[in-house]
A and B are shown apart, each in its own frame.
Chain A
């Protein structure tokens, strides 16, 4: 036992990724794009003895097989940890490791054709770059069959940053383009179970986060937002129990790293996240099993959640359900670049939706730049656009492809200075954040109540 523990520990050291904290108590769920660490977990991690850490690392290593095979692994991507040694995440390798598929230009063109509108920049720029059976969704859509969208948020804090908004912005585009319904799960129960939160505080945060989500522009006549504490029961609960019968304790240990000392609330939780993948969980929207048997589910999420939905897809056929399809995104970069992590304790790591124009300007100006140290050198040698954070952010938020290409080239060849690029980004971000704030202010308590009421949605398709 001791020997194997040491081996595991050595493996981890060799890989160059050393973790002093217990990674398994952090519960970054699938829609927390790019959120690398949250400080509350530090206090929990500190209590775990090292042997346990090492043993869990063995489980982690088993989960992501390729990385463990004796050679130095460059990156670790699991539902609870996203780390890379240098140069950022290798997404090609990740797709191979996970066994999902790459989105290609043909698929993007097909989306444009089927929806009759230009594809979202996140699709064109390969932010959402991987998928599982998205082609089946397109096939069935083309035949006139129906599908719905499922996304969500773990409401751990009141303040959201742009990285949190990315999956919602993309989901809104999908809803508008395909004209389909959407369910949004607020996992207040999960946050209560994993974090140092009072139950009522978790519920309050869920409702506050719902307002920011609504401000992204979802259509109330096609969207159902629910908090687990309010909604779980009835058909949803029956699906939870059916799912839980298909997954063994060993499997969840492997995926989530549960150990003997964890409270059983954590073990109970995964089926809550799986259940929304099946339309029978929402009888007020999709009816019973017979009525909804041809309705599929598409889940936009960050790629680190892929192992988790492998579990859900594994259970689906055994329950006689369609497997949910996935469309997966890269991680949202922290302002300090690859070496930094987005964390609630460092406001300079991300742009928050509550930031003022001045704060946005400050943060962008302080962000990690690929430009040279002086204007002369910049003009002479140009910038390293691979690592430049403002260019990466423009890749997310500047809609015009031509303009983005022009700026990137000009910056790379030294015709444009760092300050100029940053100014372009600041303008875009200030406009975006201001628009979000205005929309958020227009969200009434009444509107939240109705979004979160289980009601029939007669016009949710087409």
Chain B
């Protein structure tokens, strides 16, 4: 259920967000916008709608004069080099629910944009007013920085201001400074592209090399082809359960992925690399799986026992105090 300009306006009024809106013809660039409202008090914003390799979405809203280096931004978000690019038009319609050319922080009023991150130019704070599109680009709405913050808090967001022009070094000793702004959840309603280089290896059953066979003699070669997704991973809702099988599977996947990426970074022929990664995969799953499973089960049992004893003790303690 997308908001319209009207419903946005009533929302702003309801929440005491002062603003001034001017209608004009449809504008696609800041220059055009300036022709219509440049005589009024207020700076212009440029608004980018970006996505990263894991299909997480970002609205980057800056003064039209601010230079945004996408490569540097990507590094500061902890997404590596070239980790962000312009989001596809479908996401614009599906998630932000605004037409082309109308990207605006106001779009985050929509429920569908719940997991979109918003990065605001620190430069906004020095302006008297800034112009944003009120969900369509045939009007411009001016707000003071304080009222912009008011709007964001009213939709349950903490405003995040970034100095896009700061030269921030990201490296071994210096972690990405904007990493906390990266959305936590997978976005809803967007199409997931098939795996990129960083994508996770699909979950596998903990017992390696075998597939449920109807015939008594399963044909199996010790290769990665034995993988199949396990239903246990989708038990995210059931917070109280500790499912050893799914923990084991995800740890093994991470170990294998780490080892495989190590091999892939070597300078070897492709078939040699493949042979090595296959053999590492099989060895890890065969040798490591039973030992790791045993360790995990012991760990779970130890924690449960400690908790149980502690509860008994505290019950005893509180009953003696009466």
Residues of A at the B interface (CB closer than 8 Å) are 105, 108-109, 112-113, 116-119, 124, 176, 214, 217-221, 399-402, 405, 431, 435, 438-439, 442-444, 446-447, 449-451, 453, 455, 459
Contact = CB atoms under 8 A, between A and B. Distances in A.
B294 A117 contact: no
27 contacts: A105-B216, A112-B213, A116-B212, A116-B230, A116-B231, A118-B212, A119-B212, A218-B297, A219-B297, A220-B300, A220-B304, A399-B210, A400-B209, A400-B210, A401-B218, A402-B220, A431-B287, A435-B294, A438-B291, A438-B294, A439-B295, A447-B305, A449-B309, A450-B304, A450-B305, A451-B305, A455-B308
B306 interface: yes
Nearest to A217: B297
Interface string B283-320: 00001001101110110111011101100000000000
Nearest to B309: A446
Given A118-B205, A219-B300, A459-B240, A449 B294 contact: no
A113 B211 CA distance: 11
Contacts, number: 89
B308 A450 contact: yes
B211 A220 contact: no
A118 B211 contact: yes
Contact of B305 (A112, A219, A446): A446
B219 to A, nearest CB: 8
A439 B294 contact: yes
A124 B215 CA distance: 11
A118 B215 CA distance: 12
The main secondary structure of chain A at its interface with chain B is helix
Contact of B207 (A118, A438, A439): A118
A89 B218 CA distance: 29
A138 to B, nearest CB: 15
B224 interface: no
Nearest to A117: B205
A390 B113 CA distance: 64
Contacts of A402: 218-220
A447 B215 CA distance: 42
A176 B245 contact: yes
Closest 9 CB pairs of A and B: A450-B305, A112-B212, A442-B298, A220-B301, A447-B305, A118-B210, A446-B305, A217-B297, A439-B294
Given A220-B300, A450-B308, A450-B309, A459 B291 contact: no
Given A109-B214, A450-B304, 6 more contacts: A105-B215, A105-B216, A118-B205, A399-B207, A443-B298, A449-B305
A36 B147 CA distance: 86
Contacts of A119: 212
B244 interface: yes
Given A112-B212, A118-B205, A401-B210, A442 B302 contact: yes
B266 to A, nearest CB: 29
A117 B301 CA distance: 24
B217 interface: yes
B308 A401 contact: no
Contact of B291 (A218, A220, A435): A435
B321 interface: no
A61 B293 CA distance: 47
A438 B298 CA distance: 10
A119 B240 CA distance: 28
Contact of A447 (B213, B295, B301): B301
Nearest to B209: A400
A195 B53 CA distance: 69
Nearest to B218: A401
A442 B300 CA distance: 11
A176 B207 CA distance: 12
A435 B298 contact: no
Nearest to B241: A459
Given A118-B211, A124-B216, A220 B231 contact: no
Interface of B: 205, 207, 209-220, 230-231, 240-242, 244-245, 287, 290-291, 293-295, 297-298, 300-302, 304-306, 308-309
Contacts of B297: 217-219
Nearest to A448: B305
Contacts of B213: 109, 112, 118
A113 B214 CA distance: 9
A219 B309 CA distance: 17
A219 B240 contact: no
A284 B145 CA distance: 62
B210 A444 contact: no
B294 A217 contact: yes
B290 to A, nearest CB: 6
Q: Output the residue of A109, A214, A220, A439 with the most chain B CB within 10 A.
A: A220
A218 B209 CA distance: 24
A22 to B, nearest CB: 42
Contacts of A446: 302, 305-306, 309
Nearest to B216: A105
A402 B244 CA distance: 28
A117 B304 contact: no
Contact of A117 (B207, B216, B220, B306): B207
A148 B171 CA distance: 55
B161 to A, nearest CB: 46
Contact of A113 (B212, B287, B291): B212
Contact of A220 (B209, B212, B216, B305): B305
A119 B245 CA distance: 15
Nearest to A462: B241
Nearest to A120: B207
Nearest to B219: A402
Contacts of A444: 302, 305
A217 B206 CA distance: 15
Contacts of B245: 176
Contacts of A439: 294-295, 298
Contacts of B300: 219-221
A113 B213 CA distance: 9
Contacts of B210: 118, 399-401
Contacts of B215: 105
A357 to B, nearest CB: 16
Contact of A214 (B207, B218, B301, B309): B301
